[in-house]
Amino acid sequence: MNHDEMAIAVEALRGVGPVELALRTDKLAREYPFGVEPQFVIDTTDPDDPALVLCDRYWGLRLRTDPRIEVAADCAGWVAENVVADRRGIVERWGLGHGFVTCDQVESPELVAAVEADILAMTDRLGAMHAALYHAGKLRANSDGAALHRFLESSRLVAAVGHDDPLIVALRSFAAFVDRRFTTDYALTEFETAWTAWNDGRAGRAVVDLALNGLARADRFDGQAELLAGRAQVVLGRYRDDHIFHARLAHGLHLLGDPVRALLHIDEALKLLPANGWRTSHDLLAQQYALLRDDILMNYPR
């Protein structure tokens, strides 16, 4: 199938439901011959645009087959050439997302460090961010706070992004929350810095997602439940139909001992969980939400 034929097939997907869109874009993505990349120009910020979903599928398949950071850098190069609307948003979503679905195959620090100079020589700051987020996304998905923090502190890719970038700060916050070797005060300081950047409009959804994720995963500490529930409620004021933040609020309410409201929000999260994401990520999130729901039900009034 050449590009013109692929474009016709993709155009026919406009308006279809999320399940059909997921299935058909996955099938189309598998029809690309080895080494042939999509030629679409992405000029929309709509995450459900069929061409964008197809390209996400294509690169996800490439990375599942070959999960090296060099392939993520190739993806970053494609994004630089083909995405003309909200490139940073795509970098954040794809970098972390592709890392999430390939977290079962983590490269050693030595292998990553050995290719960083080559990656930096062929890309710009956002390209470096894309590759860095891909590796960091794997470590985050595995809750390996120690390895994640070491990577954030030592990586040349991260240095090219900037250690004060809100996304890097949010990742440090997550790493500190999930690794007991860091103090709660340190984790909270990084959390508040990331939160302020998001609250002031200097950072996007990925930053507050990472920050709240770390807070939810932390060992219990005084004020944690109130902080998680309160901040998740604020975030939902901006992202009312986002399943992840309904789940974060459900978690906070569960820790507060409010199972009735917690159940409402985890059920809403399950209802909103999109069917047009990667099946791997969809299934993993569905499992996480189901486990939280079971925990909530154990304390539900009878």
Residue 278: what pLDDT?
58
17-53 residue pLDDT tens: 888 898 899 999 999 998 899 999 999 989 889 999 9
Alpha-carbon distances of 181 from 122, 175, 187, 226, rounded to whole Å: 36, 10, 11, 23
Give dist(CA 107, CA 118) in Å, integer.
16
Q: What is the pLDDT of residue 210?
A: 97
Largest CA distance in the chain: 62
Structure tokens at 48: 């459900």
Residue type, 284: L
Are 177 and 200 in contact by the 8 Å Cβ rule? The answer is no
The burial class, CB within 10 Å (0-12 / 13-18 / 19+), for 274 is middle
Decide: 41 and 84 in contact? Cβ < 8 Å: yes
Confidence (pLDDT) at 279: 56
The DSSP code for 107 is: P
pLDDT one-digit tens code per residue, 277-299: 555 577 788 899 999 999 999 98
Which residues in the chain show pLDDT less than 50? 276
pLDDT of residue 2: 87
Q: Cα–Cα distance between 264 and 49 in angstroms, integer?
A: 30
Cα separation of 190 and 168, whole Å? 10
pLDDT at position 280 is 59
